[in-house]
Structure 1
Amino acid sequence: MPKPNPSKAEQQSNIDEELENSKSSEITSTKSHGEILKQQIIDGQETYNKNAISILLSSLTAGLEIGFSYLLICSLFFFLQGKVEEDTIIKLLSVVYPVGFIMIILGQSILFTEQTSLLTLPVLNKKRSFRSLLKLWGLVISGNLIGGYLIAFLLVWIGPHLGIFNLLTVEKIAVHVTHYDNSVIFVSAILAGWLMGLLSWLIAASKSTLSRIVLIFMITAVLSFTGLHHSIVGNVEVFAGWISSSAITFVDYLSFILLALLGNALGGAIFVALLKYRAFVYDVKG
């Protein structure tokens, strides 16, 4: 006689029990899929449990800190201009692009793209509601964007005064980010969100600070070298262009940031959180 299908409550209980019992491989000392997933859900839950002001301030800090990537991008672009072909300079920017991400992730500030899949997992695991996810995303995005605005104003002023870059450099970088069709920016942002969600997963799997730095550098350098659109770095790049050049309009900025945020969210939530979680669930069911 065939066994009756378990109820949804029983299925969820089985998933939670399997997560609780997940352990590292005794042979390789590497974390199992279940252990990484459990750690991600716990980390995500910790963020949900934080005070709203704390989340906003941590997100604001991340928005400010990502400005150090932009500072180095502009400085290197300006330094190499006239010495190296411009398309080569764009590729070389990937060497300095990861700096802000390393500061943010190791310093545990809250960056939207790095937290997207992390915050989605407790919802998939039925520990949090979809409404609470949207509310938390709203806080994180607000903090990241405001921090980006503040650092953009500061860098657009200080760069020319220090002589490390000029406003033409700011304009060229902003135009380079936005000159694509909307569909290209959207799909590019999905891929960027996918990579950033994967980065969050890989960091949870790593056990040393050095390996985490290597992973952050590797993933974010890929983003820069291939020109994939990251909403929070791009926010600083395009906003700085808008406030300092007529080549970037408010419509250009608004269109870019909406497409980049949506694409990054979909990439992290669907291609990392959902697929990683469902792979574990089907393994439990099997």
Structure 2
Amino acid sequence: MMTAATYPIGLPGTPWGEAELDTWRQHRIRLRNYAEDVVPRIDALSAQFDVVTYGELNYSDDSYRLFALRSRDWNPTLPVALVTGGVHGYETSGVTGALAFLETQAAKYAGRVNLIVAPCVSPWGYERVNRWNYDALDPNRNFRADGPAPESAALIQLLSPLHGQVLMHIDLHETTDSDESEFRPALAARDGKDYEPGEIPDGFYLVDDSDNPQPEFQQAIVTAVEAVTHIAPPDAHGNIIGSPLVAHGVIEYPVAKYAMCTGITGAPYTTTTEVYPDSPRASPKECSDAQVAAVCAAIDYVLTQI
């Protein structure tokens, strides 16, 4: 386990400068290929959905087009349901789950809801299995109008015409062992702060918005996912990742304060999923299936509230 004192980049207690950032970038090796893994699946869906290119990232020698898929027969009288995945590129089932939902389940909602899905918000992070973007920024803490992360800014721009029209937004994530072995120590090192070890929960959980809690919505999702994979129990202090458990499988964050993805549309029903792919009790397919179950349960619930 790394600590801020032993993280191989930077000096303890000193925030990174450009030299440390350059060193960090040099060690981020491409481990998978967005153009081969993700884009062909999006292209294959173009017969059923309108594919929108909503931005392009240009990082050194790498460029990535950002894609969203929209219901082909968009009806302005219907509610809008938004699904986002891959905000943290390393969280694989967020990407695969969003795509699998479109491939296997989205058709049953035709004529009932307008769908918009951004399956891989951070392709540079996807390729390098990393939480951050090229600039060592966390996209899911930079969803604000003046934010420095281009992945976040592009999604905000795409969705700005829909502000106030989105009924539900579900953002698909994972909590992994690498959060403690790499990403939280890296964050402490980057910011020149002390690293305090945490505990990785074994199982699925949700993050509700503490400023707009929707407990029945969250529990409908947890109940559906529980048929697919196990739900994370709290630790000995009654917490999950340092936050008090407010209900079975649910914690809360101040979404707007943290500039998280689920705060960008003003949707009344929002949640962030967290799947645990490193559990000995789960498989990659199970994690992806859990994300699909969460999306379906979220849409099913909000349709009953109309």
Q: Which has the higher strand share?
A: 2
When normalised by structure 2's length, the TM-score is 0.27
Higher relative contact order, structure no. (Cα contacts within 8 Å, ≥ 6 residues apart)? 1
When normalised by structure 1's length, the TM-score is 0.29
Larger radius of gyration: 1
